[in-house]
Structure 1
Amino acid sequence: MTFSICVREPYVDADGDDQHRFGVAVTTRLPGVGALCPFASEHGAVATQALTNVELGEKGMDYLEDGLAVDDALRALLNADDGRAERQLHGVGSEATFAFTGDDCLGWAGHREGDDYTVAGNLLAGEGVVEATADAYERNADADADEPLAKRLIDALGAGHAAGGDKRDDLAIQSAAVVVTSTEDRETEPYYNDLRVDATETPLRDLRETFSMAREGYEAALEKYAEE
């Protein structure tokens, strides 16, 4: 019912300090995916999907905050979950990645892990959806590194959608979401780093338009109140 991407990116802030940004983006052929599946903080990013168990995302973030590595945290949660065969769970922490697809997930279901990202999906048109999402992120991480991570994650989902996306064409009402966080202590978090489109027939197009407007509004506010 869903495909998503979780990412960890190192960068150097304006003061020359090493930082990390974490992001997760997700889309599905059901409404309200942003309320259930994506989780991110300054410690990592997690997506829980298929037969979604929100507690896996919530507790996963708690474990990361407590200092557990993402692979240890998510594996421990799955081991205690009687419904794990129907779950998909993946994410990134400060150093590791983790991806799991239960044997009873429906349709084509699977995942891919890179050095700093994970992609997973179920009830998809095929493996090409996950591959296209991952490949697009890898390309954009190099070619468009100056673009905000939120935009690049939305673009990666767009590539997956173009490769077939969620196969349930009979479900018109869809949704999408993107969340980006950072270890950097900033006075103002960019408005475009936490966006949701909860019910629409064109989720990625609408999320991309929402991002563009949020970015424009953020930059206009910075310009207007720069002196203050």
Structure 2
Amino acid sequence: MTFSIVARSDDGRLHGVAVASKFLAVGAAVPAAEAEVGALATQAYANLAYRPQGLALLRTGVSAAGVVAALTAADDGRPQRQLGVVGADGNGATFTGPACHDWAGGQAGAGWAAQGNILVGPQVVDAMRDAWLTGAGGPAFPARLVAALSAGDRAGGDRRGRQSAALLVVARGGGYGGSSDVLVDLRVDDHPDPVGELTRLLDMHALLFGKPDPDTLLDLTGELATEVAARLAAVGHPVRTDNPLRADALDAAMASWAGVENLEERLVPGRIDPVVLTHLRDRT
């Protein structure tokens, strides 16, 4: 009923799952991940107990293949189950029970596993695999996962149609404000183009919660500081000082505006992220 890719980043810091299905709110059932431990997808008459049990096994150092073997051996319903697992290191592993609805199958390699059932054919998994492997060294990890999912969707995806999609990515301290490990948790529960909508949401997530690139930051001095102060005043966040170029006052006005725009994760005192500057210019 579902196709998914489970993977870890090349440096091993991030783990995640991207999934789509003709199934309501697939993100509530399929993915599970824990920072620096691993990730898994349980699907095809999903056994939701696989999620905590699988992560517990990964936490103790069991390999992805060992997790698949342990979970399915203890499950009388395994002929109808499908499972993909990636650990902190080593190869990914995938399992497809013989009673899963056709077409069903999966592939796995170093740090990834792709699988699906009720698909138009094996080309869906092939497309996810190829997109994942060719994406090495390219887009950021969450975008790479969604690109692989999109490739599977373009190859035909679930043969019953489209309904939902989800993306879950974890990294130690990667969540909002550094206070959680959930870097991305996006769900499209019921939509005619769920993978396309998931892509749009990820772009928005990157804008609002992405971290600034230190190499692109601009100093808030001179003409740029004057421009930014004028634009902040135009959107109702004036610099509270007689000297609009005073750094602390400009930072305070910027923080006031950015908090309203949900861009606070991109703030750097005394400097400005070009992404933030573009957004401010667009607003004025």
After TM superposition, the score normalised by the length of structure 2 is 0.70
Provide the residue aligned with 1:179 in structure 2: 168
Tell me the secondary structure at the aligned position of residue 24 of structure 1: strand
Provide the residue aligned with 2:245 in structure 1: none
Provide the residue aligned with 1:100 in structure 2: 95
Provide the residue aligned with 1:16 in structure 2: none
Q: 1:185 to 1:25 in 2, by over 3 A?
A: closer
Letter in 2 for 1:120: Q
Provide the residue aligned with 1:222 in structure 2: 265
CA contact (8 A) 2:132 2:144 kept: yes
Can you list the C-alpha shifts for 1:173-215, whole angstroms capped at 9, x where unaligned?
x111111112467752698621111111110111011111111
Q: Measure, in 1, the Cα distance between the counterparts of 2:67 and 2:14.
A: 19
Provide the residue aligned with 2:7 in structure 1: 7
Q: Unaligned 5+ residue runs, structure 1? A: 12-18
Greater share of residues in strand: 1
Higher relative contact order (CA 8 A, sep 6+): 1
Letter in 2 for 1:115: A
Q: 2:69 aligns with which of 48, 58, 75?
A: 75
Can you list the C-alpha shifts for 1:112-145, whole angstroms capped at 9, x where unaligned?
1122211000000000000001101111123x1x
Alignment of 1:1-228 (within 5 A): 1-11=1-11, 19-42=12-35, 43-96=37-90, 97-142=92-137, 144=138, 147-169=139-161, 174-183=163-172, 188=178, 193-219=184-210, 220-224=263-267, 226-227=268-269
Q: Measure, in 2, the Cα distance between the counterparts of 1:206 and 1:31.
A: 15
Q: Unaligned 5+ residue runs, structure 2? A: 211-262, 270-284
Bigger Rg, which one: 2
Q: Measure, in 1, the Cα distance between the counterparts of 2:184 and 2:140.
A: 9
Can you list the C-alpha shifts for 1:22-52, whole angstroms capped at 9, x where unaligned?
1111000111111100111120010000111
Tell me the secondary structure at the aligned position of residue 136 of structure 2: helix
Deviation at 1:222, TM superposition (A): 2.3
Deviation at 1:111, TM superposition (A): 0.3
CA contact (8 A) 1:136 1:159 kept: yes
Q: Measure, in 1, the Cα distance between the counterparts of 2:181 and 2:196.
A: 20
Q: Measure, in 2, the Cα distance between the counterparts of 1:184 and 1:71.
A: 28
Q: Measure, in 2, the Cα distance between the counterparts of 1:60 and 1:66.
A: 10
Deviation at 1:105, TM superposition (A): 0.3
Tell me the secondary structure at the aligned position of residue 124 of structure 2: helix
Q: Measure, in 2, the Cα distance between the counterparts of 1:118 and 1:102.
A: 15
Q: Measure, in 2, the Cα distance between the counterparts of 1:191 and 1:53.
A: 23
CA RMSD in angstroms comes to: 2.1
Letter in 1 for 2:130: D
CA contact (8 A) 1:191 1:214 kept: no
Q: Measure, in 1, the Cα distance between the counterparts of 2:64 and 2:40.
A: 9
Identity of aligned residues (%): 37
Q: Measure, in 1, the Cα distance between the counterparts of 2:100 and 2:124.
A: 16
After TM superposition, the score normalised by the length of structure 1 is 0.87
Q: 1:184 to 1:217 in 2, by over 3 A?
A: closer
CA contact (8 A) 1:192 1:215 kept: no
CA contact (8 A) 1:85 1:103 kept: yes
Q: Measure, in 2, the Cα distance between the counterparts of 1:211 and 1:5.
A: 16
Provide the residue aligned with 2:226 in structure 1: none
Residues paired across the two proteins, number: 214
Letter in 2 for 1:32: A
Letter in 1 for 2:166: A
